[in-house]
Each structure stands twice: as C-alpha cells, then as structure tokens.
Amino acid sequence: MLLRVAMSKQQIITGIDLGTDKCVTLIAKVEGDKSAPQVLGVSTVASKGMRRSQIIDLEQVLETINESLDGAERMAGLEIKEAYLSVAGTHIASFNSKGVVAVSSPDQEIVPVDVERVIEAARAISLPSDKEIIHVIPNCYKVDAQDGIKDPIGMTGVRLELEAHIITGMSTALKNIEKCVEDLGVNVSGFVFSGLAASEVVLSETEKELGVAVVDIGAGSTSICAYVDGALVYSASLPIGARHITQDIALGCRVSIDVAEQIKLNLSQEAAHPLKPHPGESKQDFSMRKKKADEIKLADFSDANSDEVLSKREIVEDIMAPRIQEIFSLVAEKIAAQDLIREIPAGLVITGGGAETVDMLPIARKELKMSARIGKPFELSGLTTEIQKPAFATSIGLLFYGKEHGGTTVSQKLRFPKFKLATPSQWVRKVTDFIKSLLP
C-alpha cells in the first residue's frame, strides 16, 4: 500500500538496502513532483546474518536493520512507518509478458482504467507456488495496428496490447525480509530489485534508448538489468560478488578476511592515483621508486608482527583479475543467452560496491568487447557527503523509485526501540542504549 503525506505535496521516502556487506537506510523528502530527493537521514551499519544477499539468521538481520533504521531516524528526527526494501539474490528471475484487452469506453477513447486492465492481463501468468511477482514494468503499448506507444491514454482504438517486463522472487525470501522490518513496526511500501533501483540513478535516458546494461556488483551477488529502445527487457542476479574477490585475497595471501578487504581497498585507491615520474627524475630513479611502491607489507594492515612483503602487481594480476574475469564472463553468458550483445551499443554501466575495484573496467571491456564506465549516482541535496558513490547507487535508487511510486508516512517524533528480541540480555542492552541516547 502506497501512501502520500496527507495535506501536503511533501513526500517522505525511506529506503532500506539490506546487503551482504552492509545495511544502508536513507530518509529523504521531496518537495513537489520535479525536485530531487533531499536526504535527511543516513545510516550505514555492517550486515550480520546475510550470505549472498540471502538471510541466514533472522535475529541478526533484525538487529542489523534496527540499528541502521534507528541511526537514520535519529539523524532525520522522524519516526518511519513505511519503507522500500531492496532485494537481490539468485532467486530473482525475469521474463517478458503480453496483455490484451478491449477498450471499454463507448467512444473508444483509452482511459486509465483500460491501462490498469491491460497491466493486470499481462501479470495474469502461471507461476510456481514458491514464486511471486515483484515488478510488472510496462515497456510499450500497441493500439490496434500502431505499436511502440509509450502512453496510450487519450488515444482512440478498439484493442489495447501491452508488452511488459516481469521480475519475480522467491516468496519465502521476500517474507523473511518483510518479517524483520514489520517486527520493528515498519510496513513495506514495496520491494525493489537492486539492479532496477541502481538503474534509476546511474543511467541517462539516451543510454536506455541506445541500449545499455547495468551491472550492479554487490558483496554477495551481482545484479544485471538490460535496456533496449528505452525499455527494460532483461533482469538477472548472479551468486558472485566483490566479497569473493576479498576471499581470494585472504586465501592467496594467507590473511584474515578483514585484512584482505583492507588490501583490496588500498590497491583500488592507489590504482585511481597511478605513480608518475617527478619533474627531472631519471628513468632509473623512477623505476626504483616504482619497484618500491609495488611492495606491500602485511604489518601495515594488521597487528600481527609479520615481516612478510608481497607484490601488489602479483595480487592484482594473479589473484584478483581471475575472479573479476569470472564475474564478467558470467555476465557475458547471461546477456548472450538473451541475444542482447548487439542490442546494447551503449555498453556496460558498472556500479555497486565492487565497481571501483582495481582493473574492473579494462577486464569488463575485454571480456564483453564493448565500452564500459563506472556508474555514479545522480547528484542529491542534503546529507550526501558519504553516499555520492557507486556503492550507494541502489540505496539512492530506492529514493528515486519511491518518489515515482508514492511517499511514506511519518510521525514527527523519534521511534522508541521495539523489544522483540529473544533473550533478557538483549532487552537490557536495548533499554541501556536508549537511555544513553537521551543523555546530553
């Protein structure tokens, strides 16, 4: 159920992006239909109880969402009653469907009711009992013999057809996420496929018309959305993501996951600022400095007393590159299986937390033999210093999706903690945290 804030054109929109690595909650307001969301509250916490974008521990996920939601609410000074939730994982599937209805008006003018009827006709499909529809996205309409119509309302005809893109998910996966959120007193305004949410804020209309594919690389999964002639025609999710690159580094360098993540981020940051020769520096001196810069000391990334020195180039080329190649070879297989390689001349737009990993772009271009760029989300106003990055594309996309589909209800007071956790110790901890938050 989608509700607007009563007696006001202002919308309050909340998006909760629950991923394998982090949970991000954004609260924003929109003044009027044409303005961009203004971020009022931001909270990012480490995810617990998630693996490959799927819940494996309900209680830990409940704690994660509660902590993230509390942080955003306190920053915004609002109590949130509804929120949009991102969803990803291998249970996501998609296909294209058609709907056909007769125009009901006696004068044969197409009205909004006819459009609603044809959308319902397109979604009237047979699904397995464990699947349910997340999105029915109209692509184009056909009125009698005229096709390629984007908005048929007001046109005259006898027969109205619709080609729609349908995205489905596993019912149990969706219900588990919904249960966690509703246990905190928040209703689900809607589920949004993470690839679709990211597409809302990293693609231009020109790219969609030309044909483009968005590859949203999260920690535990990679989401794909392909657009042809301005319409979404294919969606999928792969069970591989940036966390797998981290695990490879941990195994290859014999370090912990946390240290491996630091190494990966350090290498990616250095790649964005390549070493350059100083004015007047000889080739020999530059070569020596370059060789020295290639060394990485494990002691710099952990408390362990280790003298081991590794080569940055070997980590990138021998450990990270093969996994990145695997990701894009799977992306290429998915797109090729739908005969879309020639249909997306605008190439790939890579976003998500893994998008800025070192060598991501050159490997993507080589594997798919097409252009590629990093997709950064559209500019926002408000508290955006920390979130104007590819890692937050899905989170920001939830706000833009919510803007198009309605706002969320709020109360102008802070939310009291919900004591739904199992053990007495957790009750005591929640009460203690709440009392501390009230102290100056």
85 vs 189: CA distance, rounded Å? 8
334 and 261 part of one domain: yes
From the centroid of its chain, how far is CA 164? Answer: 22
What local confidence, expressed as pLDDT, does residue 423 receive?
43
Q: Are residues 340 and 258 in the same domain?
A: yes
Q: Are residues 302 and 411 in the same domain?
A: no
Name all contacts of 203-209 with Cβ < 8 Å and 24+ positions apart. 203/227, 203/349, 203/375, 205/230, 206/346, 207/346, 207/349
Same domain, 247 and 296: yes
Task: Report the candidate in 74, 12, 8, 21 with the shortest Cα–Cα distance to residue 51.
Answer: 21
Predicted local confidence at residue 106, as pLDDT: 82
- Please tell me whether residues 197 and 331 are part of one structural domain: no
Range of the domain at 113: 93-171
DSSP category for residue 421: -
Looking at the fold, whether 160 and 182 belong to one and the same domain comes out as no
| Count of structural domains within the chain | 3
Q: What's 384's domain CATH number? A: 3.30.420.40
pLDDT of residue 34: 66
Shared domain check, 350 and 286: yes
Percent helix, strand and coil across the chain, each to the nearest 5: 40, 30, 35
Q: Is residue 229 part of a domain?
A: no
Successive 10-residue mean pLDDT values, the chain, 440 residues: 43 93 94 81 93 88 94 93 94 94 89 94 91 94 91 93 95 93 93 96 95 96 96 95 95 91 89 76 77 81 74 93 97 95 96 94 95 92 86 95 72 44 49 56
* Same domain flag for 285 and 367: yes
Question: Residue 86 is encoded by which pair of tokens?
Answer: 């991102």
Give the whole-angstrom CA distance, residue 317 versus residue 138.
43
Residue 126 lies in a domain: yes
Which residues does residue 114 pair with via DSSP β-bridges, in sequence order?
none
Q: What is the pLDDT of residue 307?
A: 75
Report pLDDT for 437.
55
**Which pLDDT does position 74 carry in this prediction?**
95
pLDDT at 422: 44
- Residues in Cβ contact with 42 at an 8 Å cutoff, skipping those fewer than 6 apart: 24, 25, 26, 27, 71, 72, 75, 383, 386, 387
